[in-house]
Amino acid sequence: MSPLGDSMAAEMAQQPATLTRLVARLPAIVDQVREVAGPAIPGVAFVARGSSDNAALFARYAVGLRTGLPTVLVAPSLMTAFGSRPRGFKGWTVVAVSQSGATPEIVEVAAAMQSSGATLIAITNSGGSALGAVAEVTVVLEAGPEDAVPATKTVTAQMLLGLALAAAVSGDATLLQDAAVIPGAVAEVLADAEPMTCLAQKLVGVRGLSVVGRGFAYPAALETALKLQETSGVMAHGFSTSDFRHGPIRVSAPDVPIVALAGSLPTDADTRELQSAAEARNAPFHLIGSSPGSVAGWPALGTMAEGLLATVRGQQLALSLARELGLDPDHPAGLQKVTLTH
C-alpha cells in the first residue's frame, strides 16, 4: 500500500525544480506582460477562487507595494449570480488565476471584464484551457500534472508569477533578483520537514485552530488554513494578524491554538507580539518563520518572497497532520481536483 499522501508529498518535492524552470522564463514573461500592462495602466484586478485566490492576494500585495496602483480582488458572484456588469475598468489589467483554467465563473467574469475594456492576462497550468482561449496573454505555469486534490506546486508557481507581474507593471527589475533565490530557499525548507511533523503531533485532537500572518505572510496563512481544512477536516481559519486582534482572538483557548507565520519583514513583528495575548488565554502559540523561538524556520530573505516559504511550511503541516490522523490528503472525502463553480 502506498503511503498516505504520496502524490501530495511528491508534488511538494517537485517545487524547487518547478520554480527553477519558471525563474528561467521570468524575463520573457515580464516582457510579454509589459506589452499589455505597462506602467500607464490605472489599476489591476484579480479574479480567482480557492488556492488560486490566495496566490492572487499575494500578487495583489506585490503589485500594490511596488506600484501604489489600485488593486482589487473581484467578487465573481456579483456578476454570475446577481447579474451586475463591470464598470470603470477600461484600461485596467485583469489577472485571472486558475490552476485548471476551467472554472466556469472565472472564465465568465474574466471575459465580462475584458469586454468592459480591460486587458485580460490568464495564469493557468493548462495551456489549452477555456480561460487561456479568451485572454490576450496566457502565462502557463508548466508545473506538470498535479494529481493530489490539494494544490501545492501550482500555488507557489502562481505566487512566483505574482512577483513577475509586479516587475512588469512597476519596471522594478530587482524583483527578478528576489525571485531567483526562491527555488533554493524552498528546497531548504522542504529538506527540514521534521519540525512540522512534531507540530502536527501536537495538533492532533484540537477543537480548532487559527493561522495568522500579516503582509506577505497573510496569503500564506489563508492558504495554510485551507490546506488543513482540505486534508484533515480540521476547523482551521486564516486571519490577518491585525484582523485577528479585532475579535477572533477571543476563540483562542487551550484546545484552540494559534499557528503564527512570521518572517523578517516589517509586518511580522506584529504577529510575533501575539504570543503574550495567547499566553493570557492559555492558548498554545506555535511560531513558524525566521524569528528566534520558531518551532520551524525558513531563510530570512528580507523580501516578499518569504510568503512562498511560509506557504510551503503550511503544506508540510497539512500533509503531516493528515498522516497523523490516518487520512489520505491526496483524496479528501467529498472533494475533487477541479471545482466547477458557477
Instruction: Using pLDDT thresholds of 50, 70 and 90, give the confidence band for residue 338.
Output: low
In angstroms, rounded to a whole number, what is the distance separating the alpha carbons of residues 135 and 107?
Answer: 9
At 209 the three-state DSSP class reads strand
Judge whether residue 36 has pLDDT over 80: yes
> How does pLDDT run across 254-281, given as a tens digit for each residue?
999 999 999 999 999 999 999 999 999 9
Query: Which residues have a Cβ under 8 Å from the Cβ of 9 and sit 6 or more positions away?
Result: 3, 319
* Tens-place pLDDT, residues 213-258: 999 999 999 999 999 999 999 999 999 999 999 999 999 999 999 9
**297 vs 96: CA distance, rounded Å:** 32
Q: What value does the mean pLDDT take over residues 22-29?
A: 97
Q: What is the pTM of this model?
A: 0.95
**Encoded amino acid at 189, one letter:** V
Residues 276-333: tens digit of each pLDDT: 999 999 999 999 999 888 999 999 999 999 999 999 999 999 999 999 999 999 888 7
Percent share of the chain, pLDDT over 70: 97
Q: For 51-103, how does the pLDDT look when each residue is reduced to its tens digit (9 = 90+)? A: 999 999 999 999 999 999 999 999 999 998 999 999 999 999 999 999 988 88
Please give the helix or strand (H or E) that residue 287 lies within, else none. strand 285-289
What pLDDT score does 1 carry?
43
Tens digits of residue pLDDT in 145-175: 999 999 999 999 999 999 999 999 999 989 9
Domains and CATH numbers, the chain: 6-180 (3.40.50.10490), 185-324 (3.40.50.10490)
Burial degree of 110 (CB within 10 A; 0-12, 13-18, 19+) = buried
According to the model, what pLDDT value does residue 157 have?
98
d(CA 68, CA 11): 35
Q: What is the pLDDT of residue 336?
A: 64
d(C-alpha 250, C-alpha 278), whole Å: 10
* Summary count for the chain: helices (H), strands (E): 15, 9
Closest CA to 225 of 251, 258, 248: 258
Give the pLDDT score at 340.
61
CA distances from 305 to 164, 177, 220, 238 (A): 12, 11, 11, 19
pLDDT of 337 above 70: no
